[in-house]
Structure 1
């Protein structure tokens, strides 16, 4: 297998839009496993525009030389003042940028698949929130990433009372075409991102975890890949800019060739609100005539 072919399959597993592989298998998670860890994905954002950039560097223990990758995920989320079924309508644009080195080979880099999506987030009461996202990863001409279009859905639930962020986010991808122009096979994928952090003043700390798996396929030669990783997160709110950092390590993997250690850094910047939250009407002063 050529280094170029390995690089392509590596990028697929890494998700470039966002997990990395070697050998015959080539996972197809356009949504990078672990990319929403630390975010209250089930809760609606304040009305306005928010910039979120999640960058990570990972190294997979493949002997004799490791496979390394950097994935950068700048995104804009517009939380609109509009509602659907009493849930806040939000729009998401994400443009992945990636670089990877397969088993010590020279780094290759490029743009990943652009994600365009709409999301509705509901406050259910008692600090419980849920959201549903529907969108698509667009086709890409970059050969080291997944090139095929992907229908993408996310289902998230968040409890955010008392400074807690308890979130489970399921990310599901359906490949509209399972074979790339170069002949690489991509299966559908399922990811799960988990967060259990607590705020102490401006600080935020807690454990995080994520898992990913290729879904069953009828391709008899394909070896399904999967992983589960755990770690810890530390965040600090500089007001209004929020910074998060976390480190994760695979505890189990299937057909990746080795366990991966990955460091993550996230910047959350709220931009000038496009609209303001509806304010409660101030009580009118009581006027008496004598």
Structure 2
């Protein structure tokens, strides 16, 4: 199996808790890229990745949150100026799970489609097992992103929109650096999300769910430090997000962000690689939330070009 893996795509972790308040974060999931050597170029081929995050929020939060991020990566044969071009597509989904299932005031389970992410990466092998990459793309929320409203088990409106970030396309830019020598994966990844703010949802203005919403631009940091021992991989991870606009007009009002630390374990099955990582909030702003997050990932190479077989040489026989 290959030593370098690259993923993109994703979705917001935040969920609206009332009609007037939302815990806003970036559309790109903080921590979505930990465990991946995102700074290193992939060998030519096509790869499928799926990352699922389950976020167990501390009480009194009425919900837990799941995020599923399937990604298809084409590492092309094009290497302009020595950097490999890699094309990405991802249609993320958010799942909201109500905790108080036996209460009429509890929240119903829902799912929300995030706008399909399309983008590209320009990845350079700098030699000596160092690599660096640049990423650019967009979540097409104006095309196929959901609004999402929380409803109580009794049928009343419990809060919405769940993800006000999806009122605008999300423009994503990133830079990553990796060291992959001697079985190590030491990677730092910065991801910026930028919005057409204020943003509006289409359709009616029921309960004020159309907007406008002032959406804060944000920055994520994903950190990985793992080591492979044969087919096993183990190490530490950290990730977090920072919101730039925390003014009273912003959906990130008073929420500067949060940071989590944890660990990762992986195993190479030959035909696929699996990873599991767990993290816990260690720092946050006053109105953000504490959570324990369990994530699983599966990486499957679908295609790689086969070497051209050498033409057989003529065989001369004498009788």
Instruction: Give the TM bin, normalised by the shorter chain.
Output: 0.7 to 0.9
- The structure with the larger Rg is 2
2:168 to 148, 166, 183: 148
CA deviations over 1:87-141 (Å, ceiling 9, x no partner): 0000010110111146641111021121100110000011110000011111244
Q: TM-score, normalization: structure 1?
A: 0.84
- Report the alpha carbon displacement of residue 62 of structure 1 after superposing the two structures with TM: 3.1
In the alignment, structure 1 residue 130 sits paired with structure 2 residue 132: yes
Which residue of 2 is the match for residue 99 of structure 1? 95
- In structure 2, relative to structure 1, the CA distance for the partners of 1:253 and 1:192 (3 Å cut) is same
Which residue of 1 is the match for residue 301 of structure 2? 270
Judge conservation of contact 1:20–1:67 (CA < 8 Å) in 2. no
Alignment partners' CA distance in 1, 2:37 and 2:169: 27
In the alignment, structure 1 residue 38 sits paired with structure 2 residue 35: yes
- Report the alpha carbon displacement of residue 230 of structure 1 after superposing the two structures with TM: 0.4
- Report the alpha carbon displacement of residue 178 of structure 1 after superposing the two structures with TM: 3.0
Judge conservation of contact 2:262–2:278 (CA < 8 Å) in 1. yes
Judge conservation of contact 2:12–2:29 (CA < 8 Å) in 1. yes
In the alignment, structure 1 residue 193 sits paired with structure 2 residue 222: yes
Please identify runs of 4+ aligned residues in structure 1 that moved more than 6 A. Answer: none
- In structure 2, relative to structure 1, the CA distance for the partners of 1:162 and 1:131 (3 Å cut) is same
Q: Secondary structure of 1:162's partner?
A: helix
Which residue of 1 is the match for residue 5 of structure 2? none
In the alignment, structure 1 residue 175 sits paired with structure 2 residue 179: no
Alignment partners' CA distance in 2, 1:96 and 1:75: 9
Judge conservation of contact 1:26–1:185 (CA < 8 Å) in 2. no
Which residue of 1 is the match for residue 11 of structure 2? 17
Question: In the TM superposition, what are the counterparts of 1:1-290 in structure 2 within 5 Å?
Answer: 17-21=11-15, 22=17, 24-63=21-60, 65-101=61-97, 104=100, 105-139=107-141, 140-144=144-148, 145=163, 146-181=166-201, 182-183=210-211, 184-216=213-245, 220=249, 222-273=253-304, 275-276=305-306
In structure 1, list runs of 5 or more residues that go unmatched: 1-14, 282-290
Structure with the bigger percentage of strand: 1
Alignment partners' CA distance in 2, 1:128 and 1:219: 43
Judge conservation of contact 1:47–1:277 (CA < 8 Å) in 2. no
In structure 2, list runs of 5 or more residues that go unmatched: 1-8, 101-106, 149-162, 202-209, 311-319
Which residue of 1 is the match for residue 317 of structure 2? none
Corresponding pairs, count? 264
Alignment partners' CA distance in 2, 1:255 and 1:103: 23
Judge conservation of contact 1:61–1:67 (CA < 8 Å) in 2. no
RMSD between superposed Cα atoms in Å: 2.3
Which residue of 2 is the match for residue 5 of structure 1? none
Alignment partners' CA distance in 1, 2:187 and 2:13: 21
